[in-house]
Amino acid sequence: MLVLKNYLLKNFEQFFILIILVSVSSIVYFIPHKLAFLSFFFIPVLMGASYLGTKQAILGAFFSIIIVSIYAFYFPEKFIVKNDMFSLFSSISVWGGFLILSGSVVGYLNQQLREKLLQASKMSAELDDNTELLNKTTTELIEFTEKFDLKVAERTSTLEKSKQEIESHKHKIEDALYSTMDAAVVKLMIEKRLRTEKRRISILFCDLVSFTLYSEQRRAEVVITDLNKYLASMESVLLLYNAHIDKYVGDGIMAEFGAPIDYEQHALMSVISALKMQEQLQHDDFPWQMRIGVATGEPIIGLIGHKRQSYTALGDVVNLASRIESLCKPGEVTIDVDTYEEVKRYFEIESIYISGTNNEMSTDLAEKINKELVIWHQNEIASQACILAILYEQAGNLDKAKTFYKHAMDLEPNNSETKIKFAELSMESDTEKDVPIKGRKKTSHLYRVIAIKNPLYNTEIIPKSILNLYVSEVERLVNYPEDILLPVECLDGSIGYSRIIGFLAYIISDKLKLPDKEKKDILEAGYLADIGKSIIPHHLLNRRGSLNKVEFSEVIKHPIEGLRKLKSMGFQNHTMLNLIACHHEYFDGSGYPNNLSGVDIPLGARIIAIAEAYTSLTSWRPYREKWENHAAFSELQKQTENGKFDPELMQIFEHILYDNKTDNELIHLTEKLIH
């Protein structure tokens, strides 16, 4: 039933019209007194007007008139009233009934209309009330919004002032902290990652000679001004090599390398920093000399103090570094045996002897040694090596004496006299290089660091004939930017690595007979190619295993970082900078950062890629031993076959190493590469 009711309500108009049509047709056809029933048509017309609207009511009326008219035209006798009383009263009765029915219908419709009007009036009144309430609420809301905005603005202003005050206090605190503590220490403290631990690090102590006498002879403000200039100069060097400046003790400095940030090459950083500090002291023309001592060990490191805290190192190695500095000669750098073991491959180092036979080298003896060294470089024979060994022994430099006795034995393996002298000298030096240290029961081996070794003179990497032919030309053409490269190369122990890359790249470009400008650009780009690796986390640089995808994504950023860094330093040679950007692009398109391939890679960048790969394999690295040069070249050939390097350039490089190409072959390769 409910379904039927819903259906009828939904289709009411169609059903109403159908009922009217059936009624009209039935009345016209079946009722005998049709004139009397004509009043019936008022009822559907009135109902249609009420329920369907005026247009539908008028159309219904016209439709009814047309139906009746058509029927009257064809059947006029049906509308003629018979002249008798019964027919008359029947018509009156029917008319009266329809009149009453019409009145009832109209009254019912009027009542419905009144009820709807009353309901509409109530709804209108409620709407007016709701409108008034809405207007009132809207007014209150607007007032609240205005007050809220004002309160928010006031609160925002208060918060902004508070924020500015907090930022101001923060900057003041940071400035105070940074002025008294290392930036790395402050950062780790803020991040709550600063730990107290026992860690292997290197400690540096330095001190000025006769500064007390200097300060007593001058006014206080002059002394403090000069001292601050000196400390600022030394700070710049120490911070460049990632040192933590622990404290100033008058004119002395204590610094740690490898703490708080755990740099693996801390010993290397400390010794290079010490040498550069001595250079800086001379460069700035300060009226003093400086002693520097370095020791490596495992002190306790962490924050000490209660209200005033300091990040420092405690332990025997700290005392050792201090004692070494006091034994050091003015203008020199002295290191202990642990530091020596970690850095000996990078520096020219001599043992320090404390004995009765130790002689100070005289000026005459030094000149004589220099003359004999010139003869030695011209003619390396056993007798000349023995002469130098004797002279160094007289000068008290037993390490150098042993070195030249060793050269003599290598040149004349059957000379028993040289072997005996070498053995005696070895026994003597072993007993004499133990130095007593104040406050320590055990003696220590101490070493004097003379200079950084030049890796170009390693004939295991570069043939001596090639070196002698090009070294002067290369050094004249471009000054090697050691000061900006050493801090970067210290991170992974690749000291001098860039010097070899630039040198080999220049030789290849010279064999190709490139213009002088291009050769110079290639040489400079080879030197600076890997300066951007400072952006790579140092633990990845020294990683012994392979890198995962995320770690490798960090590594491949360094060519672009190199460009950014060099531009910030003022380098504007776009050709040279482009070679640096592309030197890790591989011939088959598998390189980075832009996946260039073939001749789309600049020729200079392809040259540097080969020089760098060969240098990397033949150089010692913290995570592996160096390769023998033939094995390294063989590996490069395999990589060339796999598409990594330019095959024609590899043939040129092979000729440089092994001199195995004819002039015609070189000319053909050169023309092919250039054209």
**Position 40 confidence tier, pLDDT thresholds 50, 70, 90:** low
User: 296 near 339, Cβ under 8 Å?
Assistant: yes
Closest CA to 33 of 74, 75, 91, 77: 91
Answer yes or no: is pLDDT of 34 > 70: no
**What phi, psi does 217 have (nearest 5°)?**
-95, 5
Answer yes or no: is pLDDT of 357 > 60: no
Answer yes or no: is pLDDT of 408 > 60: yes
**What phi, psi does 286 have (nearest 5°)?**
-75, 150
Helix (H, G, I), strand (E, B) or coil at 356: coil
Give the residue ranges of DSSP H helices in 34-182. 42-51, 54-74, 85-180
Single pTM value for the model: 0.67
**What phi, psi does 257 have (nearest 5°)?**
-120, 130
Q: For residue 309, give the DSSP letter.
A: -
Sign of CA dihedral 459, 504, 475, 348: negative
- pLDDT tens digits, one per residue of 120-147: 888 888 888 888 888 888 888 888 777 8
User: 619 near 497, Cβ under 8 Å?
Assistant: yes
- Say which residue, 583 or 92, is predicted with more confidence: 583
How far is it, in rounded angstroms, from Cα 238 to Cα 188? 20
Torsion of CA 663, 666, 672, 674, to 10 degrees: -110
Comparing 134-148, 267-281, 329-343, the range with the smallest average pLDDT is 134-148
The whole-chain average pLDDT of the chain stands at: 82
Give the model's pLDDT for residue 107.
57
**Position 522 confidence tier, pLDDT thresholds 50, 70, 90:** very high
Give the model's pLDDT for residue 356.
42
- Say which residue, 172 or 293, is predicted with more confidence: 293
- Burial of residue 429 (CB within 10 Å: 0-12, 13-18, 19+) is middle
DSSP string, 571-607: ---HHHHHHHHHTT--TTS--SSS---GGGS-HHHHH
Class of domain 183-351: alpha beta
Answer yes or no: is pLDDT of 469 > 70: yes
Provide mean pLDDT across the span 593-603: 93
CATH match of 363-432 with 1.25.40.10: yes
**Position 421 confidence tier, pLDDT thresholds 50, 70, 90:** confident
Helix (H, G, I), strand (E, B) or coil at 246: strand
User: 650 near 636, Cβ under 8 Å?
Assistant: yes
How far is it, in rounded angstroms, from Cα 22 to Cα 15? 11
Comparing 143-147, 275-279, 514-518, 569-573, the range with the smallest average pLDDT is 143-147
Give the residue ranges of DSSP H helices in 210-257. 211-216, 220-240
Torsion of CA 630, 635, 638, 640, to 10 degrees: -90
Give the model's pLDDT for residue 343.
95
Q: How far is CA 93 from CA 29, 46, 89, 165, 305, in A?
A: 20, 21, 6, 103, 124
Give the model's pLDDT for residue 159.
83
How far is it, in rounded angstroms, from Cα 71 to Cα 63? 12
Sequence spans of domains, the chain: 19-133, 183-351, 363-432, 456-674
Provide mean pLDDT across the span 375-389: 83
User: 263 near 538, Cβ under 8 Å?
Assistant: yes
CB atoms closer than 10 angstroms to residue 379: 8
Give the model's pLDDT for residue 344.
93
Element (H, E) at 197: strand 197-198
**What phi, psi does 13 have (nearest 5°)?**
-60, -45
How far is it, in rounded angstroms, from Cα 470 to Cα 476? 10
CB atoms closer than 10 angstroms to residue 457: 12
* b/e code 173-209 from CB counts within 10 Å (16+ = b): eeeebeeebbeebbbbbeeeebeeeebbbbbbbbbbb
**Position 258 confidence tier, pLDDT thresholds 50, 70, 90:** very high
Sequence-ordered list of residues with C-beta below 8 angstroms from that of 581, at least 6 positions apart, any chain:
559, 560, 562, 563, 593, 605
> What distance lies between CA 653 and its chain's CA centroid?
35
The segment with the largest mean pLDDT, out of 160-169, 338-347, 387-396, 532-541, is 338-347
Sign of CA dihedral 500, 375, 347, 248: negative
The segment with the largest mean pLDDT, out of 167-181, 347-361, 592-606, is 592-606
Give the model's pLDDT for residue 30.
66
How far is it, in rounded angstroms, from Cα 474 to Cα 480? 9
How far is it, in rounded angstroms, from Cα 165 to Cα 351? 58
Beta bridge partners of 445: 434
Q: Which CATH architecture has domain 456-674?
A: Orthogonal Bundle (1.10)
- pLDDT tens digits, one per residue of 44-65: 666 666 666 666 666 666 776 6
- pLDDT tens digits, one per residue of 74-112: 777 666 655 566 665 665 565 555 545 555 665 566 667
